[in-house]
Structure 1
């Protein structure tokens, strides 16, 4: 009668333990992501706008209405974006110097053409803080069309499916190893 091989069994058990721990880690990430998405949803409806200062903004301010003063435009560019109706095009951006130092990226508005807002040279900007961070102007500036307003509802929360995958991988590894062991031990 043959014995259960020690090293392969140990390796499979360690791999299964790692997969199970990754599954539980994804469950913790699920709770974290739900709290973050709830925070972002509440930020969208906050009544007061925050001030974008020379110190910048942090992730807790995302999706809040904000205000900044662009004292000088350092450069213009454009990024892929959508307008308020969902049509694809270009978000016209300006890299701004802020009073007291610091910089901010401002999405001035939307256009079908790149570099459509190079004449804008600064001023007061109101809008919504988007990831990046960048301030998406609302209302748009420089005669541009409105951008799509940043919305956290599009942020995926796949952590439950990832957790289920890790648990499934662990169970599959155990079943495959058990079948291999059974075959090996039945030959003896």
Structure 2
């Protein structure tokens, strides 16, 4: 347990902080073409793409914002067009040039499948900076929403080790 605490503190925490620093710098970097393959180093970076028809639009939950409308273009690019509070809300969109930010697409993989199968890279999503007519704007990607729990995990492992040591001492005393 102590080794796991040290691993979280000395390895995982610095790596996550470096990754978060990169993500925080990405919005100020020059725009890139939307990535065709998953690349988490590009998250929050400005991007652009041409969405070719035919386009299929689906809804996905967006928490307090209601529902996200996500278009899947003929070339496989997924674009978050905007949000709506209407659970049946839909738009007709023919595609075209889109600008915005690189983000992760929603993942509907069931938990049991994630436990059994090897993890696959999460698909990328272009979050449009201007919504389609009739939709509310998308929120900008927020670095504050990326969890960094490694210090808490380290403390947790050290506490577990301390509790185990106390239990061992009490058991050894009782045995005498």
TM-score, length of structure 2 as denominator length: 0.81
The alignment partner of 1:26 has SS state of helix
| TM-score, length of structure 1 as denominator length | 0.76
2:148 aligns to what?
A: 157
> In the TM superposition, what is the alpha-carbon distance from 1:115 to its structure 2 partner?
5.6
Aligned residues: 157
* Unaligned residue ranges in structure 2 (runs of 5+): 106-123
Q: Deviations over 1:61-109 (max 9, x none)?
A: 1000100000123421011226xxxx522111100123xxxx1110011
- Measure how far apart 1:131 and its partner are: 1.9
The match for 1:49 is: 31
Partner of 1:67: 48
Give the match's secondary structure for 1:182.
helix
> Quick check: 1:71–1:96 contact (8 Å CA) kept in 2?
yes
Give the gaps of 5 or more residues in structure 1.
1-18
Equivalent in the alignment of 1:26 = 8
CA contact (8 A) 2:53 2:94 kept: yes
Q: State how far apart, in whole Å, the 1-side matches of 2:137 and 2:150 are.
A: 33
Select which of 79, 85, 88 maps to 1:112.
85
**CA drift at 1:37:** 0.8
Partner residue in 1 for 2:167: 176
